[in-house]
Amino acid sequence: MTQDVKTQLVALIQQALASVAPAASATPILLERPRDAAHGDFATNLAMQLARVLKKNPLDIARQLVNELPVSALVRKAEVAGAGFINFTLDSAAKTAAIAGVLALGADFGRLVLGGGQKIQIEFVSANPTGPLHVGHGRGAAYGASLANLLAFAGWEVTREFYVNDAGRQMDILALSTWLRYLELNGVVVAFPPNAYQGAYVRDMAGQMAAAHGGKYFRSAEAVESGLPGLPDADRSDDEAKNQREAHLDALIVRAKALLGPDWSYMHQHALSEQLADCRDDLESFGVRFDVWFSEQALFDTGLVARAVDLLEKNGHLYVQNGAKWFKSTAFGDEKDRVVQRENGLYTYFASDIAYHLNKYERGFDKIINIWGADHHGYIPRVKGALTALGLDAEKLQVALVQFAVLYRNGQKAPMSTRSGEFVTLRELRGEVGNDACRFFYALRKSDQHLDFDLDLAKSQTNENPVYYIQYAHARVCSVLTQWGGEVSTLARADLGCLDSPRELALANRLAEFPEVIAAAARDLAPHQIAFYLKELAADFHTWYNAERMLVDDPVLRDARLALAAAARQVIANGMGLLGVSCPSSM
């Protein structure tokens, strides 16, 4: 396998280095694959690294290293290039060895032990359960799920977690919105706040309550609206008008709680349960599953929020101003200090977030990854600052940012929301292009880069569609193996010595790269690197397939080519599986 080849090649270079510069024998040796195949299979800049230490021309050092390189069947050619690079061309047998490695390991080819079994928690999506998931949530879900698969494949023990924001104002607004729609169904007309939840799903939840409980939660319009602060004119959009709308909404929530009494908790729980169930169903249908659904409310119920704030205060990182408690987050790089407890005694969202992160640390994870929307960039220093203030190692937390996805149809930017302000939902997108296209297209760019999602391309069955192109390569191998009719397991014993054409060796070399791609993608938290690799692998396969016949008369050559094809199929399946994309056997 390629890791063994690299290890062997490094060992050869180390022997040459010990001969040329014994005092510098501990210099790290970096091997990279040149982008241009004409420059060999691997290259090192070791001579340029040594130039300053040895006070010699790097070209001279490179020539000396090549001259001292031990003879090995692994290397067909080593030559000096450019300003002092050393390019290595491997022997054909070293390249085709990867085929046997793939067939021997199967679904485990590319699996690594980089993580050493360390425990890592990945928290992602964590959308407020106040409505359907939209296409922005979809990108975070696809990225988080693929990253979790990748890190598990690379040797970490991964916990996938969804943080449920089931406490606080947004859930109160959803519960209120549902109750007001319920009143409408019972003939009670109360002016519906423009800043409440407007979606049809709110009416659906209200209808469920009406069907199950009739008029049990009926209250008169006068009881609901009497004495409330008025709403500004609908067309006013200034800050004062916005504040008036928010004050009206908060007053409605207070009134609803007073009028419903103990029944308010049912209203709240019904809205939460319905939206959380919808979220779970949507994500599971998308192939995204979580090990833990963590309740924000539990942080309050267990007293952890109060304990976290008390600990900050005990450590000298809080002060009181106008009756509120403030965290000195500017001392940790934040742009301003932050309130953790208001003058009325209520804790802020930031306080519960601090408590949640304290809980993560107390659960003993070796590494913690938060996947947040790019608009949360400014939130990073205050959270890390709070961790430091709690006496925790903030470096254990890593935040990966995800940019929004923009939909395009017929070359034009597609509307992302309806007139009522509802975003295009993840469910709608999946219904239009399918899960596979969704998962792969979301993975086509680095997570913190903007993504243009071409709906027409995602639905097309052409080679321009990368999902179709890669799946077609897999299906082509399945078709050939079916025509052959033999036992695939026997191909592991094929004589690969007859695979010597440039296309065959290029494809074998590409298969050998897969563990390297896994290692790099895991290190960089970058599943998109797997997507890029699979596109290149499919291109190499199709180029070879279109140029050569698989089922030739010569049984030795036939089995060797089938072994190469079967190995390509396996690596495609392994890589697509990490991205959550299926590999059909026919198309």
Give residue-wise pLDDT tens across range 317-375: 999 999 999 999 999 999 999 999 999 999 999 999 999 999 999 999 999 999 999 99
Asked whether the CA dihedral 43, 466, 442, 112 is positive or negative, the reply is negative
| Closest-CA residue to 471 (of 513, 442, 508, 435) | 435
Tell me which amino acid residue 106 is.
G
Least confident of 28-42, 225-239, 478-492: 225-239
> Which structural domains are found in the chain, ordered by start?
2-90 (3.30.1360.70), 96-116+463-578 (1.10.730.10), 124-300+403-459 (3.40.50.620)
Q: Residue 232 gets which letter from DSSP?
A: P
Please give the pLDDT value at position 450. 94
| Closest-CA residue to 219 (of 249, 258, 250, 174) | 258
Q: The pTM is what? A: 0.93
Please give the pLDDT value at position 233. 81
Please give the pLDDT value at position 422. 67
Phi first, then psi: give them for residue 134, nearest 5 degrees: -110, 180
- Mean pLDDT for 414-425 is 71
Residues in the chain: 587
Please give the pLDDT value at position 415. 80
Tell me which amino acid residue 54 is.
L
CB 406 within 8 A of CB 416: yes
Q: Where are the alpha helices (DSSP H) in 329-465?
A: 349-362, 379-389, 426-433, 435-442, 455-459
- Mean pLDDT for 420-432 is 86
pLDDT over threshold 80, residue 4: no
Cα–Cα distance measured from residue 147 to residue 299, given in angstroms and rounded to the nearest whole number: 27
Please give the pLDDT value at position 1. 45
Q: pLDDT tens, 287-322?
A: 999 999 999 999 999 999 999 999 999 999 999 999
Cα–Cα distance measured from residue 28 to residue 21, given in angstroms and rounded to the nearest whole number: 13
Q: pLDDT tens, 517-554?
A: 999 999 999 999 999 999 999 999 999 999 999 999 99
Q: Give the rounded percent of residues in the chain with a pLDDT score beyond 90.
A: 92
Confidence of residue 38 (pLDDT cuts 50, 70, 90): confident
CB 340 within 8 A of CB 354: yes
Q: Give the rounded percent of residues in the chain with a pLDDT score beyond 70.
A: 98
At residue 576's C-alpha, the angle toward residues 426 and 502, to 5°, is: 140
Q: pLDDT tens, 99-113?
A: 999 999 999 999 999
Cα–Cα distance measured from residue 223 to residue 525, given in angstroms and rounded to the nearest whole number: 55
Cα–Cα distance measured from residue 492 to residue 101, given in angstroms and rounded to the nearest whole number: 9
Confidence of residue 396 (pLDDT cuts 50, 70, 90): very high
Cα–Cα distance measured from residue 148 to residue 152, given in angstroms and rounded to the nearest whole number: 6
Tell me which amino acid residue 518 is.
I
